[in-house]
Amino acid sequence: MSESAGITLAELGRLVDARVEGDGSLRITGVATLRSAGPGELSFLANSKYRRYLAETRAGAVVVDESSVAELHTSALVHANPYATFARAARLLAPDPSPAAGVHPSAVVDDSARIAPGVHVGPRCIVGAGTEIAEGCILHAGAIVGDDCRIGEGTVLKAGVILADRVALGRGVRVHSGAVIGSDGFGFARDGDEWVRVPQLGGVRVGDHADIGANTTVDRGALEDTVIGAQVKLDNLVQIGHNCDIGERTVIAGQAGVAGSTTIGRDCMIGGACAIGGHIRLGDGVVVTGGSNVANSIDGPGVFSSTTTPVETNRSWRRNAVRFTQLDDMARRLRALERGTDEKEG
């Protein structure tokens, strides 16, 4: 970023609601890590593992909390949440590109679609019949939007995103490349030697300021809509089955899968590669650590974990799973028996 594009530390502090320590007239032109930042750049400390780099950083300023101010030899922005404050500052210093409004000549837009004047529709995009796209939206190259979709103000579809028919995205949603929203749910009924496809007649509703990661898939509902709440963050390669309902501000890390008709509450955190079973409910504030297998409902809140074991017959696994839940009680009883034996021998 050029010097002319910078901003003074004092102004940056005002915009992100952080206290300035040191030279408020210092001009900040970019962001970088503690180890690589130069005199005109802003860095941050949010993880104690990197505290050792404070003494040697060349950053012009560092975002820290109160506990780290005494260790600084640079100017600083001081806030109780350094990481979030740095994120806000970084967005000001390095804003997303904003391509000019207009429809590229190679795009195919149905005559019945309603596109606001300030929308950018990139090369080879497709917009279906009856779709409405609000002001400030950006459709990057090759994005496909089906029929009867609704896209709220300021939403961004990265290159190659696919929205099937009857998908509704709120305001400020970001959908990354390769994501597919509104694909058919996995619905089949067995009839003798035949699998009969169950029509997936619902849609998908995504709330304001949600993020959908690259190559993530969100299936449409069978009869009612699949729902992704406001400010939900889905990482790359996440699978959300049909008729799921994901509560506001929940985050789900990469390669996690949520089977159909499962409800996940608000403010949950699902670790990477978790397998969440179908037709269950996770309450508000549930945290599931990475790689866990969740087969039953959790009332929450709390932190929950499971582990993987070598594959075995289901009958054997079920017996061992029950015994696993009894291990703590068995250990207590064993210790009590050992104490009783020691007392008798003494």
Residue 216's contacts (CB-CB under 8 Å, 6 or more residues apart) are: 176, 179, 180, 234, 235, 236, 237, 238, 239, 240
Residue for token pair 């929308």: 119
Compute the distance between CA of residue 43 and CA of residue 31 in angstroms, rounded to an integer.
6
Compute the distance between CA of residue 67 and CA of residue 292 in angstroms, rounded to an integer.
35
Determine whether 242 is an active site residue: yes
Q: Which helix (H) or strand (E) holds 282?
A: strand 281-282
- In our burial notation (b when 16+ CB lie closer than 10 A, e otherwise), range 102-130 reads ebeeebebeeebebeebbbbbeebbbbeb
Compute the distance between CA of residue 314 and CA of residue 171 in angstroms, rounded to an integer.
46
Torsion, Cα 158 161 167 171, to 10 degrees, reads -10
Token digits of residue 108: 């195919």
Q: In angstroms, how far is CA 103 from the centroid of its own chain?
A: 30
Instruction: State how far the alpha carbon of 22 is from the alpha carbons of 58, 71, 73, in Å.
Output: 15, 13, 9
Instruction: State how far the alpha carbon of 51 is from the alpha carbons of 13, 34, 48, 318, in Å.
Output: 22, 9, 5, 47
Phi-psi region of 154 (alpha: psi -120 to 50; beta: other; left: phi over 0): left
Long-range contacts of 150-158 (CB under 8 A, 24+ apart): 152/208, 156/96, 158/214
Compute the distance between CA of residue 181 and CA of residue 175 in angstroms, rounded to an integer.
9
State the catalytic residue, choosing from 79, 120, 140, 242: 242
Give the Cα-Cα-Cα angle 27, 32, 35 (nearest 5 degrees).
115
**Which positions are catalytic?**
242
